[in-house]
Structure 1
Amino acid sequence: MKRIFLFAAALLLINIGSQAQDTTQLTVPERKNSATQQTRPYVIMISIDGFRYDYAEKYNATQLLQLSGNGVRATAMQPSFPSLTFPNHYSLVTGLYPAHHGLVDNLFYDRKRDAIYKVGNRDAVEDGTWYNGIPLWVLAEKQQMLSASYFWVGSEGAIQNVRPTYYFKYQEKTGIDQRIQTVVNWLQLPEEQRPHLITFYFPEVDHMGHKYGPDSDSTRNAVQFVDAAIGKMVAAVNQLHLPVNFIVVSDHGMLEVDTVHTISIPDAPQLEPLKKMPGNEKVMYYGKNEAEIKAAYDYLKKNENHYTAYLKQETPARWHYGQEDIYNRIGDIVLVAEANYVFGEPGKMQHPGHHGYDNNLTNMNAIFMAWGPAFKNNTRIATFENVQVYPLVARILGLEITQPIDGKLEVLEPILK
Structure 2
Amino acid sequence: MARDGVKARYMTPAFVTMTSPCHFTLVTGKYIENHGVVHNMFYNTTSKVKLPYHATLGIQSWWDNGSIPIWITAQRQGLKTGSFFYPGGNVTYQGMAATLSRKEGILHNYKDEKEWRANVDTVMRWLTEEGLDLVTLYFGEPDSTGHKFGPESPERKAMVEQVDRTVGYLRSRIASHGLAGSLNLIITSDHGMATVRKNASDLVEFHKFPNFTFKDIEFELLDYGPNGMLLPKEGLLDKVYAALRHAHPRLHVYRKEDFPASFHYASHPRITPLLMYSDPGYVIHGRLSVQFNNGEHGFDNKSPDMKTIFRAVGPSFKKGLEVEPFDSIHVYELMCHLLGIKPEANDGRLSTLLPTLHSGSAVQTRCWPRLLMGLLVAWMLLATTP
| TM-score, normalisation: structure 1 | 0.78
Matches within 5 A, 1:382-393: 382-393=324-335
Amino acid in the other structure paired with 1:399: I
1:203-255 per-position Cα deviation (integer Å, ceiling 9, x unaligned):
12001111111111111111110110111111111122230000011000011
Residue in structure 1 matched with residue 361 of structure 2 by the alignment: none
Question: d(CA) in 2 for partners of 1:156 and 1:306?
Answer: 38
CA distance in 1, matches of 2:121, 2:217: 53
Q: Contact 1:107/1:277 (CA < 8 Å) preserved in 2? A: no
Q: Alpha-carbon deviation of 1:114?
A: 5.0
Corresponding residue for residue 37 of structure 1: none
State the Cα distance separating 1:331 from its structure 2 match.
1.7
CA shift, 1:274, in A, is 2.9
CA distance in 2: counterparts of 1:265 and 1:195, whole angstroms: 49
Q: Are 1:226 and 2:163 matched, yes or no?
A: yes
1:263 alignment partner, one of 204, 215, 219: 204
Q: Does 1:197 align with 2:131?
A: no
SS of match in other structure, 1:100: helix
Q: Distance in 1 between matches of 2:308 and 2:44?
A: 28
Question: Which AA in structure 1 matches 2:96?
Answer: V
Contact 2:225 2:291 in 1 (8 A): no
| Deviations, residues 297-338 of structure 1 (Å, cap 9, x unaligned) | 01101313421111111111110122x22xx01121112111
Deviation at 1:155, TM superposition (A): 0.8
Equivalent in 175, 178, 193 of residue 254 of structure 1: 193
Q: Does 2:22 correspond to 1:88?
A: yes
Q: What amino acid is the match of 2:185?
A: F
2:299 to 357, 368, 376: 357
Partner Cα distance (1:223, 1:359) in 2? 22
Q: What is the rounded CA distance, in whole Å, between the counterparts of 2:328 and 2:215 in structure 1?
A: 35
SS at match of 1:310: strand
Q: Distance in 1 between matches of 2:150 and 2:214?
A: 36
Partner of 1:217: 154
- Tell me the number of residue pairs that the alignment of Structure 1 and Structure 2 aligns: 341
Deviations 1:389-414 (A, max 9, x none): 0010000010111x310111111111
Instruction: Name the aligned partner's letter for residue 413 of structure 1.
Output: L
Q: Deviations over 1:75-133 (max 9, x none)?
A: 1110111111110011011101111111112236445x7565644352x4213222241
The equivalent of 1:341 in structure 2 is: 282
Question: Which residue number corresponds to residue 384 of structure 2?
Answer: none
Distance, in Å, in 2 between the alignment partners of 1:155 and 1:397 is 18
Change in 2 beyond 3 A, CA 1:415/1:349: closer
Q: Give the SS at the match of 2:254.
A: strand
2: CA distance between counterparts of 1:319 and 1:101?
Answer: 14
Sequence identity (%): 29
Q: Contact conserved, 1:94 with 1:133, CA < 8 A, in 2?
A: yes
Corresponding letter in the other structure for 2:227: K
What secondary structure does 2:103 align onto? coil
1:129 correspondence with 2:24: no
Q: Which residue of 1 aligns with 2:380?
A: none
RMSD over aligned Cα atoms? 1.9
What residue identity is the alignment partner of 2:263? W
Q: Which amino acid aligns with 2:161?
A: Q
Q: Partner residue of 2:227?
A: 282
- State the distance in 1 between where 2:289 and 2:26 align: 37
Q: Deviations over 1:185-216 (max 9, x none)?
A: 11221xxx410101111112001111111111
Whether the 8 Å contact between 2:216 and 2:232 is mirrored in structure 1 is no
| Maintained 8 Å contact 1:129/1:160 | no
Q: Which residue of 2 aligns with 1:35?
A: none
Could you tell me which runs of 5 or more consecutive residues in structure 1 were left unpaired when the two chains were aligned.
1-66
- 3-state DSSP class of the match of 1:274? strand
Given the alignment, which residue of 238, 253, 264 partners 1:320? Answer: 264
Question: Is 2:74 the counterpart of 1:74?
Answer: no
Equivalent of 1:120, from 53, 70, 92? 53
Distance 1:101 1:110, change over 3 A: farther
Residue 169 of structure 2 aligns to a residue in which SS? helix
TM-score when normalising by structure 2: 0.84
Q: Is the 8 A contact 1:209 1:353 kept in 2?
A: yes
How far off its partner does 1:273 sit?
3.4
Q: What 5-or-longer segments of structure 2 have no aligned partner?
A: 359-386
Letter in 2 for 1:390: Y
Distance 1:273 1:259, change over 3 A: closer
Q: Provide the residue aligned with 2:118 in structure 1.
A: 178
Deviation at 1:146, TM superposition (A): 0.5
**Larger helix fraction of residues:** 1
Q: Retained in 2: the 8 A contact 1:270–1:296? A: no
Amino acid at match of 1:92: L
Structure 2 CA distance for aligned equivalents of residues 115 and 145 of structure 1: 40
1:367 aligns with 2:309: yes
The one-letter amino acid of 2:124's match is V
Structure 2 letter corresponding to 1:414: P
Q: Could you tell me which amino acid in structure 1 is paired with residue 59 of structure 2?
A: D
